[in-house]
Structure formats: structure tokens, C-alpha cells
Amino acid sequence: MQPNTLLDALLDEAGFSHAGLAARVDRAGLARGLDLRYDHTAVARWLRGQRPRGRVPDLICEVLAERLGRPVALGDIGLGVQGGPADGPGSPLCGFVDRATALWRSDEQQRRQVIDAPAVTGTPAVMPVWEWENPPEDTDVSRAGPTRVSPADITLLRTARAHYELMYRRAGGIATRARIVGFLTAQTAPLLRGAYGDALGRRLHRAAGGLVAVAGICAYDSDAHGLAQRYFHQALRLAKASGDRGLGAYAVALLVNQSLFMGEYRQAVAFAEAALRSAGPALTPALASDLYAMQAKAYARLGDGRVARHRIRRAEREAERIRPGAEPDETGYVQPGLVHVQVAEALLSLGELTAAHEHAAAAVGSPAHDRGRVHRLGMLCQIELSRGEPERAARTALAMADQARGMESQRLRDRLRAVRARLVASGAGPARQAAELIDGALRVPL
């Protein structure tokens, strides 16, 4: 069950409180001989994704249409015949844009039913990837809207994506999310609703998809996993509309990473396989190496060492083919050393500590952006503790805590907590001192 952002947006536009809508629906029902007794709690349930029973959806449309002075259909309130407020790639493109922009607005307004929604699992999680991978394609994405879109607008979106990605790497997702969501609402939404032909429209959807993916990364980094998943699904749908299979594979890679975090290892393997299979010539060496490395981590967690090692070899071969300047903007995160740290994590899960240490040390010794360096140091520290080297681990932990200073990131805090717990458990004096310093860093509120 996903939050109904379309109904929330229309409720806001109409100026209705939850209690106000409930009272008007009750009165509309009474005029038709229905004894309805809804209150504000019922409306809150509808906004969380529950579908009202019987004729109530039609009454909601009637009440909103009367206030707004225009027709309101079931699809406009997220209660169309397909049964709810899903944002999935299977919805028509114009309807998808309406749902996507409504989600951005709800996120910007910090609606708790949107921010706190859990990630979906099972078929609802798999279908967006399946629909991206399979026909039908969008034959024409042109649109007649109030404002004509220009190539300069697309340049603006691409520049914004690069700006917010850099901000995320330096300051963390918590600090960046509000800014990028504000940009999506104020700048990107009007463009998607604007006027453009098919060719320009595909470029527009591609630029918007890259920006939405970064918003999803920031939500993931803020521990809003249901919201992050919806952004990743949106990026996947925008990629399909653009016709760029590489962007779609990148969006799937983000879902793979989230699946790993949530412990959905078989799903991570399947998603990565879909991206590797479907991207075709658009699959770059950087993206391929990351997908194979994440598969290696998943197989290692599943206890399949043979396949994990095979994926490690594939990831390393692809990494050797990466050429600076030959990759799209989105895969710039695959920097030197990334595959090393991914492989180190897989080898650690397999209990191969010596090889894991070699890869982790190589990762730390390679150039990295601020955020990536924290994670690399955290992995090296974890391996050093597993090898019974608490003094070396303490020095690494101090470097990690210093590097993380000033970043607002839930994932980095998770990494710091995990390292702190291992340091305390080691019982060594230097390790305990390093744990105390990490404790101080964790006391700084986000």
C-alpha cells in the first residue's frame, strides 16, 4: 500500500482539512440516502493508500470538483480503475508525470505518510523493473503544455543534477534532499508538464530521470526507504520514456544497492541480471563492473562462494576497461577503488580475510570523494578487527571519524555505529579510545 499523493495534492489545492473533506463527503452521501460517518482519521487512511469502499471515491471526486470548479475523475485522485495511487512504469506517461510531481510536492511538504512509507516487496517491487525491461515502449512522448520547453531548460536540469550529486557526496543526503526536492517541485515539474516534441521530450525525460535518481539516493541516505524506492522507480520510468537503456540500467543498479541493504539478496541478484541483460550496447564498463561487484556481495551473503568469485573476476575485468571521460555523468561514482571495496566486502562475507584486506587497503589508497573515503575506511577497519588487529583498526577508525565530520548521512552514521560496536567488543585500550571519539561524533544531531 503506497501513499496517495494525488489525493493529497488536490486536498491541498482545494484548501480542505482532513475533517473538512470527511464532513463534505458525509453530506454528499446523505443527499443520496447514504449514512456515512467519516472523520479525519478516515481521510488520513485514504492518504496512506487505503481505498474507500463503495461509492465513496465518486463522492470525493464530486466534492473536489465542486470546490475546484473543474471536473475531477477517479484517476485524478489516485483511485482509478487500476486500483490505487501506484507510480509504476506501467501507467500512461501523462498520468505518471502527475503522480511523480505529486510525490515531489508531498516530500517537499514533509508529509509523514510519504516519508515514513515502507519499501514494497514481492511483486510490487519487481514489476517496475520487469516493465522497464519489456515492451511496450513509448512511441511518442510529445506533450502540449502551457510553457514551451527549450534546450536551455534541459541544460539547467543536467547542471542541477551534477550540483546536487556533488553536494550529496560532500554533505550527505539529509542535508541535500530538501534542496533537490525543492528544485524538482519548482523547476522540473513545470517542464515535464510543458510543451515539447518527441525528440526534445526524450532529452527532457532523460535529464529529469538523472535528477530524480539523485533525489532517491538522498532519500535512501536519510533512511526513507519507501520514498527512495519510489524515486528509483520514477527514474526507471523516465529512463524508459527517454529511450536511454543505460540510464535505466543505472536506476536498476540503485535498486540493487537498496536490495542489498535491506537483505533482499536474491532480489539484488535478479535486478542486477536484468540490468546486465537489457542495457545492451548502453551498458558501460563502469556500470557493468558495479553490477557484477554487487552480485558478488549478494552471492557471498547467500553462501555461494563459487559464483561470488566468478562475479568478482567479471567485475575486475570490466573495471580494467573503464576510460576517463567515456562514461555518462551518472556513472561517475564508479571511481578508482570502488570495485576494490565492493570485492573486499564480498570476500569478508566469505571469510577470506587476507584477500579482503588487500582489496580494502587498495581501495583506501585510491582517490575517492569524501563520502566514498569514509565507507572505504570503515570497511578496512572492519577487516582489521576481524583479523585481530585492534590497534591498526583504531587508527583507521580515527581517520574515518575525522573524514565523516560535518556530513549529514544516516548511512555513514550506521557505518560509524557498526565500527564503534566492534571496537568496544575488541576490548583493546586504543580501540576503546577510538570508540569514545566516534561516540562524540554520533552525539552530533542530524
Using CB atoms within 10 Å of the CB of residue 437, give its burial: 0 to 12 exposed, 13 to 18 middle, 19+ buried: middle
Q: Residue 122: in which H helix or E strand, if any?
A: none
User: Tens place of pLDDT for every residue, the chain, 446 residues?
Assistant: 688 988 988 888 888 999 999 999 999 988 888 888 899 999 989 998 899 988 899 899 989 988 988 888 888 888 875 433 344 444 489 889 999 999 999 999 999 989 999 999 999 999 999 999 999 999 999 999 899 999 999 999 999 999 999 999 999 999 999 999 999 999 999 999 999 999 999 999 999 999 999 999 999 999 999 999 999 999 999 999 999 999 999 999 999 999 999 999 999 999 999 999 999 999 999 999 999 999 999 999 999 999 999 999 999 999 999 987 889 999 988 888 999 999 999 999 999 999 999 999 999 999 888 889 999 999 999 999 999 998 899 999 999 988 888 889 999 989 888 888 888 888 777 788 888 888 877 776 65
Cα gap 375→352, rounded to integer Å: 20
Q: How many residues does the chain have?
A: 446
Contact 146, 193 (CB under 8 A): yes
Question: What are the cell numbers at 66?
Answer: 465542486
- Note the pTM of the prediction, 2 decimals: 0.87
Contact 279, 246 (CB under 8 A): yes
Grouping H, G, I as helix, E, B as strand and the rest as coil, residue 322 is: coil
What are the C-alpha distances in Å from 237 to residues 28, 201, 244, 249? 38, 14, 11, 11
Question: What are the cell numbers at 230?
Answer: 519510489
Contact 88, 128 (CB under 8 A): yes
Tell me which residue of 120, 404, 132 sits closest to 251, measured CA to CA: 132
Cα gap 33→30, rounded to integer Å: 5
Residues contacting 352, CB < 8 A, separation 6+: none
Start-end of H helices in 52-122: 56-68, 93-108, 112-115
Tell me which residue of 303, 100, 312 sits closest to 213, measured CA to CA: 100
Say which residue the cell 558501460 belongs to.
Answer: 284
Domain edges within the chain: 5-79, 268-364
Tell me which residue of 291, 234, 259, 240 sits closest to 120, measured CA to CA: 259
